[in-house]
Amino acid sequence: GAGVSQSPSNKVTEKGKDVELRCDPISGHTALYWYRQRLGQGLEFLIYFQGNSAPDKSGLPSDRFSAERTGESVSTLTIQRTQQEDSAVYLCASSLVWTGRDYGYTFGSGTRLTVV
Amino acid sequence: AQKITQTQPGMFVQEKEAVTLDCTYDTSDQSYGLFWYKQPSSGEMIFLIYQGSYDEQNATEGRYSLNFQKARKSANLVISASQLGDSAMYFCAMRGDYGQNFVFGPGTRLSVLP
């Protein structure tokens, strides 16, 4: 597609339930990032995928969080046993590999997760 | 490890005036890229401008320019002729060699006054 697509756009879930968030990057973009943005705060890095390399999971806040991506396609972020502090907007971004001249990443519109 | 610092949580500027949003960074990479993004109240992240660490000239994109001082590790965003629509959060970000972790600063909220 023309842009990065995220679904669902909004998700309300009960505490303790599992949720799955989806990111469909721009075709051909090998790099994919997940970020969390709590209300009024900056972007908190979660995980980074680059092609078929092992992902950089250093930003995942706990073992309740996991993400998958097959090749250069769709990625899913899974949060198990959701807690109220997981409430945030989850943003996905994709880009081409660094080529020395870069016009930035393309972000999706995000998934607003509310845990009640 | 890379780190971005934005020391101004909030800024005010009069419409039609210029404003500078500060950004300093820390990295041990020799080659890196610096970015500014705008996030209006709608929540979307809008790419504004990019500066490569080896670019000799400061980047410009319309009313946006990046005041890059490599020795000081600063990459301030200058917005000329501010408009009401410029009111938003502004994030400075950087990425190191070969597409590694893309790190954001905490952001500056800019309010343009009529």
For residue B45, give the chain A residue with the closest CA.
A107
Specify the residue for token string 């409430």: A87
Q: Which of residues 30-89 of A touch B (CB under 8 A)?
A: 31, 33, 35, 41-43, 45, 48, 50, 56, 58-59, 89
pLDDT, tens digit, 9 for 90 and up, residues A30-85: 889 999 999 888 899 999 998 888 898 989 999 999 999 987 889 999 999 999 99
Flag whether pLDDT at A98 surpasses 70: no
What does the pLDDT read at residue A12? 98
| pLDDT tens across the length of chain B (114 residues) | 789 999 999 999 999 999 999 999 998 888 888 999 999 998 889 989 999 898 889 999 999 999 999 999 999 999 999 999 999 999 999 987 665 677 899 999 999 999
CA dihedral sign, ordered A84, B103, B100, A26: positive
pLDDT, tens digit, 9 for 90 and up, residues B55-83: 889 999 999 999 999 999 999 999 999 99
Pick from B47, B52, B91: which is nearest to A43 by CB?
A: B91
Q: How far is residue B33's CA from residue B30's CA, in Å, rounded to a whole number? A: 10
Flag whether pLDDT at A15 surpasses 80: yes
**Terminal Cα distance for chain A, rounded:** 33
CB–CB of A23/B72 below 8 Å?
no
Tokens read off for B112: 């343009």
What are residue B107's DSSP bridge partners?
none
Tokens read off for B40: 């209006």
What does the pLDDT read at residue B30? 85
Q: Which residues of B touch A43 (CB under 8 A)?
A: 91, 93, 104
Specify the residue for token string 């990065």: A4
For residue A105, give the chain B residue with the closest CA.
B47
